[in-house]
Each structure stands twice: as C-alpha cells, then as structure tokens.
Amino acid sequence: LEGLLTALGNLDAIIDILRHAPDGTTAKQRFQQQFNLSERQSDAILAMPLRKLTGMERQGLEEEFREFTQRRDELQRLLSDRKELLKAMKKELRGLRKKFGDPRRTRIQTEAERAEEFQQVEEIIAETGEEAVVIEFTQKGYVRRYGQRAYQRRQARLEVDANPQLHEVEDDPTSQVEAALTSQEILTLTRDGRAFTLTVDEVPANSRQGKGVPLVNLLPDSVPPEAEAIVAQMVLREDYLDRDLILVSQKGKIKRIPLQEFTHLTGRGLTAMKVKEGDELAYVAIAQEGDDMVLGTSGGRLLRFPIDDDNLPIMGRAALGPQGIRLGKQETLVGCVAVESGYDCVLMLSAAGYGKRLPVETLRVTRRGDIGTQSFQFSLKTDRLVAVIPATSHSSITVLTSADRAATLPIDSIPRQGRTGECDRLVKPKQGETITQVIRLCPLDNGEAVKPSTEEE
C-alpha cells in the first residue's frame, strides 16, 4: 500500500520511468533507486491497473493504509505491554465463548451414579427385547452369532493351542470376536472402498456345530461373492461413534473420516474411499485425534506420525487421500496401526517366521508422507515383512502359511526388541513355505471385545 501511494504521489516521474525503460526489470530497479522502494513494492507498482489512478481508488488506498497503520500500532502496543495484551486476549476469548460456546456434554459421575445408570441400561435392554450376543468372524469370511451363555459354554469346551509348531489347519480359524446387542450394526468395508451395514439381528443364530454363514451373503448383490472382497468388519459400538475411521490403500494412500457417517446405510452402501485403478483399500483402523498412526512396509520400515488436522485432516467420502508413506519400487504396505495408550508395542513378523515386539516409543514421531525408519533387521536376504499389528497383552496370534498350516502363539511370549535388535524365529516354515497371514485375537472382557487385526500378505 505504501508503495502504491508513493507511485500515485509521484505519478509523472513514474510514467517517465516506464516510458524510457527498455523492460520491466529495468523499471523496477529505477523505482527502487529513485524512490527508495523495496522489490515487493516495485512489483506492486508494475502490476497496478490504470483504474488505480482514479480519485476514488486513491482515496480507498489511503483509507486502507490508515487502517493498516493503526492496526500495526495497536499490535505493537499490545506486544510491548503485557497487561494490555492479557486484557485484549480476555476480551477476544469472551467473544469466542459467546459466539461458539455450548453446554458441557461430558458428564462427571461418581461410581454410584455409574452403577445406577448401568442398571437402567440393563432394564431398558430387557424391556425392548434386545439380546446380548457374541459375533465371531472367521478367516474364510464366515460370520457366526451366539448367545452369551452359549458362547461361554463353547469356549469352555475348546482348547487353546499355544504350541508354536506349525500344523495342518483342520477348520476355519476365528479371526475376530465382538460382543454386541442385536439392535447394533455391523460395518463392513470392501476392497473397492465401499461401506455397507447390517444389523446384528440379521446374522442367523448359530448352532453348536455350525460353521456360520458367509458374510458376503448378507450384503447386497453388488458385493463380489469372494470372501476376499471384504477388508474389514466391526460392530458399531456406541463408544466408537465419536471416533474416526482411518482408511489406507495398498499403495499407501490414507484418509480419515468420521465413523458416525457410516451408520444406518441404505442397501446401496456408501463410498468410503475412492481408489484408482490398480489400487485397493487394504487396511482399516479406528482412531481419534491425539492417537499416533504407524504404517509398516515389507522392507521393514515403520513410519509414526500424529493423527491431527495437520497430518491427517478430516476428509470427505469422495476424497482419494494423500500419500501416507513413501514406498520403494519393490515394497508393499503390510500394516496400519492406530497407537493409543493401551498399545505400547507393535508386533512385526516376517515371511520366514522371524518376529518381535517393538516398543512404539522407540519410533521417532515425524510427518505423514515421510520415508519412515528401518525397524526390522532381516536374517535372510530373501525375507520380507508380512505383518505389523498391535501387540496387546493377554492376546494371541494365529500364523497362517502358504501351505495351509497354522500355529498359535500368546503375544506375551514374543520377545521385546529395539529397532536394531535381532529377531527370534517364532515359527519355522518348511522349504518353499512362507507366512502369508497373521491374525490377532483379543479375548472378550466384561462383555466387550477389542477389535482384532488381520494382516495378510
């Protein structure tokens, strides 16, 4: 503004310089020399349209210059006087509170009040006829529904195989267990980025020896019939609805979208993430702002960055999403973990059966789109990472191989190692056999289930 006003005050000299200058660069240099202007001010004069020469435009520039000068003086006064600065901040905060403030929504309750509310919820469930059930999802894409007592009796009959020795898979391993009410919804996401919901009540009750029904059979006909079409499924519990869904494609595109946008969907479903040709939705996580995201590559690199509006802003359903991590030519994405207070480690497992628990605190916090940190030391040159999953205590993993063999290991039995530490061989595949999939299964706890993770090569 000061430069434009200088030009208007010396209009004849400005025009004379422009008339005799061979080019814009020469004119700019002469402006700076003759009127002591900066490079930016000189550029503004060269870009000034002729309408700025009118009286009204000049008056407007002078008024705008006075306003900016007054504002600058006011800000300098506040910066030099702490008392005045605090007074101005207090006034501005009061205005924001008046404009945007709303009543507290979080209720602070005593233990007695919480117990009373829990009793009221149980009474409502009894009055409405809702049933508390357990939902099981399997590795081959089946879903089973049990009453809670029937499930407890079934679990009492089953023996947990904690032997790390690989053995032939005799049935369809359970990949996920969740407690639910029959009125709640199950959200499913497919590889082409679409989302569908169905109520828990739509899942047929399972008999004692029944293997369940294919989950894809309960979805619209537009979903491909193969079990591999479904990437993730989860019961939409009430405490999930204020969280976000993190979606990651096979080529590393990532986006964050509020989970509450995926309730009560119609039969047509909803596009959760657009994926380009040759790419597909590969990983899904539930998180909230303040958590950290950890992405893992087949080359053993991990990238940790905070989930916030700078790194991972909320995006619309039609958005593709930015690049989450840079991938090498021969690399693929093998894991996506939302790290919260309950997850102090991530579990890393290679195709040759080597693995470890890595403390998350050893990973440097950086920004989305970075290359990450080498966090897995391979004992074999041909080896590669196949899974990065949360390593929660009192959980177990089932390791599946290319030869349809499996082994189950308690996570607590897997050694903790740093980024540069050598890994133990947790399972030993035969020659030509590789680890292809790792399933993390969390036990039900007080009627609630923690969502497990499934990593597939």
pLDDT of 343 reads: 65
112 belongs to a structural domain: no
Q: Total domain count for the chain? A: 2
110 belongs to a structural domain: no
DSSP 314-359: B--TT----BSS---TT--EEEEEEE-TT--EEEEEETTSEEEEEE
pLDDT of 193 reads: 92
Report the SS3 class of residue 154: helix
> Which residues, other chains included, contact 66 with Cβ-Cβ below 8 Å and sequence gap of 6+?
none
Triad 369, 374, 377: Cα angle to 5°? 155
CA 211/CA 320 separation, integer angstroms? 37
Q: Are residues 189 and 248 in the same domain?
A: yes
103 belongs to a structural domain: no
pLDDT digits (tens, 9 = 90+) for 417-454: 999 888 899 999 999 999 999 998 876 643 333 333 44
CATH code, domain with 43: 1.10.268.10
pLDDT of 448 reads: 37
Question: Are residues 84 and 78 in contact, defined by beta-carbon separation less than 8 angstroms?
Answer: yes
Q: Are residues 42 and 157 in the same domain?
A: no
116 belongs to a structural domain: no
Q: Are residues 153 and 237 in the same domain?
A: yes
Last residue of one domain, picked from the residues 85, 108, 136: 85
Helix runs in 101-200, H state only: 111-128, 148-157
Q: Are residues 270 and 374 in the same domain?
A: yes
Domain that holds residue 19: 2-85
Provide the whole-model pTM: 0.68
Q: Torsions phi, psi of 114, nearest 5?
A: -65, -40
Q: Are residues 210 and 294 in the same domain?
A: yes
117 belongs to a structural domain: no
Per residue of the chain (457 residues), give pLDDT as tens: 677 777 777 778 888 888 888 888 888 888 888 888 888 888 877 877 766 666 656 666 677 777 788 888 888 888 888 888 888 888 888 877 777 666 655 555 666 665 665 566 566 556 666 788 889 999 889 999 988 777 777 665 555 545 568 888 777 888 888 888 888 999 999 999 999 999 999 999 887 667 889 999 998 888 877 767 899 999 998 888 889 999 999 999 999 999 999 988 888 889 999 998 889 999 999 999 889 999 999 999 999 999 999 999 999 887 888 999 999 888 999 999 998 865 688 999 999 999 999 999 999 999 999 999 999 999 998 999 999 999 888 788 989 999 989 998 999 889 999 998 888 999 999 999 999 999 988 766 433 333 334 455 5
162 belongs to a structural domain: yes
Q: Are residues 15 and 153 in the same domain?
A: no
pLDDT of 86 reads: 85
69 belongs to a structural domain: yes
In the block, tokens 């404009």 appear at 99
CA 415/CA 209 separation, integer angstroms? 37
CA 295/CA 375 separation, integer angstroms? 12
249 belongs to a structural domain: yes
Q: Are residues 48 and 140 in the same domain?
A: no
Quick one: tokens of 225? 């019939």
DSSP state of 205: B
Q: Are residues 149 and 31 in the same domain?
A: no
Last residue of one domain, picked from the residues 64, 85, 106: 85
Q: Are residues 67 and 161 in the same domain?
A: no
Q: Which of 265, 325, 259, 250 is nearest to 287 (CA)?
A: 259
DSSP 233-264: EEE--GGGTTSEEEEEETTSBEEEEEGGGGSS
CATH code, domain with 155: 2.120.10.90
CA 385/CA 3 separation, integer angstroms? 61
